[in-house]
Amino acid sequence: MNQKIVSHLWFNKEAKEAAEFYVSAFGEGSTIKNVTTIHDTPSGDCDIVSFELKKIPFMAISAGPYFKFNPSVSFMVNFDPSQDESAVQSIDKAWEKLSEGGTVLMPIQEYPFSKRYGWIKDKYGLSWQLILTNAKGEERPEIVPSLLFVGDKLGKAEEAVNFYLSVFKDSKLGTMVKYGTGQEPNKEGAVMFSDFKLLDMWFSAMDGGGEHAFKFNEAVSFIVKCEDQAEIDYYWEKLSAVPESEQCGWLKDKFGVSWQIVPRAMDAMMATDDKEKLARVTKSFLAMKRFDIAKLKEAADGK
């Protein structure tokens, strides 16, 4: 799938191992697409893994113990009985696999919003929400990244959704459900659940009341694949809000969410079997903050 936005996972050393684990957990439509190792980075040798889960593209990197997953970003996995007659068996199979060495955050059982739902942190620390969806509801992708606004970002979910909808022109709001009175620790008007589509990717967002000792970080970021320099410049100017976080195409927005603004042409540059070409491209992009497509192409061509 030639998707415009792709979820990116940061691991210490386990990117390839974790990708294989997730492929085994989700089964059909899940596969490793490519593994590339880049050298001479600040983190040493780094494996970059492209893979798909239920036909949804992901990327992962092994780049050192700098960022840890936490529930501020989780992945909601929809099991739809109208699409899969064995949805109940499928959700239980995935739950069993993800439970290996994991920690249950909400047990898998019936809740007011779903006949079967559970939230689990896997053995790598990444959080997954598995849900049996309402077959009568509007169709959604099988995997949707979910943003949880807590701490000093509590109450910012609706503002963030509106901001992202304004930045990504090809976008739309799906659901927006808010808390009412008497639903402490959540304040009235806070977002209980929302979802929205940016380009070709659905996200969900919610506020999380109570005490939470975590916040958004670079462990999960979102790659935006751009067709040209003008598009890179547009998203960089709109999204970047933390200058000290700008590095190698990465930026952090005003809510603390990390994005990577990259040229689509870089996929082919990084997937090459030409080790010298890969080394030139790697050296070039490591020196950049905002990516310069012309300079990357010069490096790829050996100019």
> How far apart, in Å, are the Cα atoms of 301 and each of 38, 131, 269, 290, 295?
17, 47, 10, 20, 10
- What is the DSSP pairing of strand 171-178 with strand 5-11? unpaired
Q: What is the DSSP letter of 139?
A: P
Backbone phi and psi for residue 258, each to the nearest 5 degrees, phi listed first: -95, 140
Q: Which amino acid is at 251?
A: L
H or E segment and range at residue 201? strand 201-207
pTM: 0.94
Rg for the chain, CA atoms, rounded: 19
Full set of structural domains in the chain with CATH: 5-65+217-276+289-301 (3.10.180), 73-207 (3.30.720.110)
303 residues of the chain, pLDDT tens digit each: 578 999 999 999 999 999 999 999 998 899 999 999 988 888 888 999 999 999 999 999 999 999 999 999 999 999 998 888 899 999 999 999 999 999 999 999 999 889 999 999 999 999 999 999 876 667 789 999 999 999 999 999 999 999 999 999 899 999 999 999 888 888 899 999 999 999 999 999 999 988 888 999 999 999 999 999 999 999 999 999 999 999 999 999 999 999 999 999 988 888 888 889 988 999 999 899 999 999 999 999 987
Q: Which residues of 274-292 are buried (b: 16+ CB within 10 A; e: fewer)?
A: eeebbebbbebbeeeebbb
- Residue 231 CB contacts under 8 Å (≥ 6 apart), including other chains: none
Strands (E), the chain: 5-11, 31-41, 44-53, 56-62, 73-79, 103-111, 114-121, 127-132, 143-149, 171-178, 191-198, 201-207, 220-226, 250-252, 258-263
Q: How far apart are CA 218 and CA 239, in angstroms?
A: 15
CA max distance for the chain: 65
